[in-house]
Amino acid sequence: MNKRALFAIAAGMIIVFAMIIAMVTTYRPTVHHEETNQLKPKPAPYQATTPRSHPTVVTLDSLAMGEKIKNQLNRHPKIIKIDHNGHDKSHYFNHEITVRFRKLPAVQEIKRIERAIDGKLINQFDHFFIFRSNSKTYLELHQYFESIPTVSYSEPNYIYLQNEIPNDLLYSRYQWNLPAIDTEAGWMLSRGKKGVTIAVIDSGVDLDHPDLARRLQTGYNVFTENNIPEDENGHGTHVAGIIASQPNNHEGVAGITWFNPIMPIKALNADGYGTSFDVAKGIRWAVDHGAKVINLSLGNYQPSTVLEEAIRYAYDRDVVLVAASGNDSTSQPSFPAAYPEVISVGAVNPDLSFASYSNYGNYLDVVAPGTNIASTFSHHRYAALSGTSMAAPHVTALAGLIRSLNPRLSNDEVKQIIIDTATDLGNSGKDPYYGYGLINVYRALELASRSS
């Protein structure tokens, strides 16, 4: 081969490479302006401490997991069981008590109390204190504290249990729940705003999950009293993903909101339960740090004054509160869902029939998808879980979208819009199984846009 031929071949190869480079550098995918802003790289509030693995999908029997926790509590020698109706039970710690003082006691008074009860102060926020005795039962503690004039009230430290078209990889295969409530049509009206924060009071969140890390703002761990609410259970990560798993990122699942930040509050432990004191502390922290909507996928059948005060504290500050009704197929009122300030949520199946596990009753406001809901899970995984815990965050996310679209609306007005636009199911009008019906994202947002 002569030099002229070699030169021609080399020149041709150079031209081909130049054309390929030009095509790669000039190509840009077409995206909406709103999506472009959301996908800009920015540092997440939590730095990844473990290498990210390829996402996997796990199938978990979340209802059976809940029954296992209840059985463990029923057998625990230091936990007292309250039998409500032969089936539904509440629990509290036998040697602990929650005390609310009218005025803060001095250090000397605390030491005197600790000597009197043969115990110590183990937790406190504001005027609320938790004492634990080495020898006295709850009833003995209650009798002692009720005799102190500066005590407003005392009650058990109750245990609260967890209640569990984008291009995302799992959307079309698993996420029946979003089309069922007209989410895609609703996105035409609102995808949320960064200024409307949604707090998830639960077991924490997988802080560097690839589908959540850039949607998280600073949160709180009520146990360690720091800003590292890492999820050791998976339940909180699943709830947060239903609300805010990053849509349109070619990975995992799509959340209902695109831009609302999640404030993760860890108030349930690695086993999936926490106390009324822990949950109340988490609610107050969330309110004081700017949460506009709060999700409570947890519950107990015994009303708690400390929790009720926290609920009213949030409600009086115009926060929308949403809670799961529970998974025991009972009409026994569950708290906090049964408090009038809270939107109480039951669950439906993919065919929109009432889920057999879902609690029901006159306090139920609406229903949402709750069976086999795919979402994010701990250790960078994805899982399909069932329960009213999964139904509640659908309503929470809708409240976040409404407040993003029309920030002038009060918490009562947001609740009423969700109720007024629900799709009536079951008997005509409100009924104990479906409440006012299945939430509808599009109709709710359309009404919100017209409300003054």
Q: What is the per-residue pLDDT for 53?
A: 44
Query: How far is residue 106's CA from residue 150's CA, in Å, rounded to a whole number?
Result: 12
pLDDT tens-digit readout, 111-166: 999 999 999 998 998 999 999 999 998 899 999 999 999 999 999 888 776 654 44
69, pLDDT greater than 60: no
Q: What is the mean pLDDT of residues 369-398?
A: 91
Q: What is the per-residue pLDDT for 21?
A: 41
The more confident residue out of 175 and 135 is: 135
Q: What is the mean pLDDT of residues 316-326?
A: 97
Active site residue 91: no
Dump the DSSP string for 357-411. TS--STT--EEEE-SSEEEEETTTEEEEE-SHHHHHHHHHHHHHHHHHH-TT--H
Global confidence as pTM: 0.76
Q: What is the mean pLDDT of residues 373-398?
A: 91
Active site residue 389: yes
Superfamily name with CATH number, domain 79-158:
Peptidase S8 propeptide/proteinase inhibitor I9 (3.30.70.80)
405, pLDDT greater than 80: yes
pLDDT tens-digit readout, 257-290: 999 999 999 999 988 888 999 999 999 999 999 9
50, pLDDT greater than 70: no
The answer to whether the bond into 393 is cis (omega within 30° of 0) is no
- Looking up tokens 């408090």, which residue turns up? 339
DSSP E strands in 216-341: the ranges are 220-221, 262-266, 273-275, 293-296, 298-299, 320-324
Query: How far is residue 101's CA from residue 306's CA, in Å, rounded to a whole number?
Result: 12
Active site residue 420: no
Domain boundaries, the chain: 79-158, 160-450
Pull the structure tokens for residue 309.
């005060």
89, pLDDT greater than 90: no
Query: How far is residue 206's CA from residue 380's CA, in Å, rounded to a whole number?
Result: 7
> Residues 235, 238, 380, 394: which is the catalytic one?
235
Contact predicate 242/375, CB 8 Å: yes
- Confidence category of residue 20, pLDDT binned at 50, 70, 90: very low
Q: What is the per-residue pLDDT for 8?
A: 54
Dump the DSSP string for 99-148. EEESSPPPHHHHHHHHHHHTEEEEEEETTEEEEEESS--HHHHHHHHTT-
Of the candidate ranges 71-80, 303-312, 416-425, the one whose mean pLDDT is the lowest: 71-80
Q: What is the per-residue pLDDT for 146?
A: 93
H or E segment to which residue 89 belongs: strand 89-93
Q: What is the per-residue pLDDT for 35?
A: 27
Query: How far is residue 163's CA from residue 63's CA, in Å, rounded to a whole number?
Result: 9
> Residues 202, 211, 231, 365: which is the catalytic one?
202
Q: What is the mean pLDDT of residues 385-414?
A: 96
228 alpha carbon, distance to own chain's centre: 16
CATH number of 160-450: 3.40.50.200
Select, from the ranges 49-53, 64-68, 140-144, the one with the highest average predicted confidence (pLDDT). 140-144
> Residues 325, 375, 386, 389: which is the catalytic one?
389
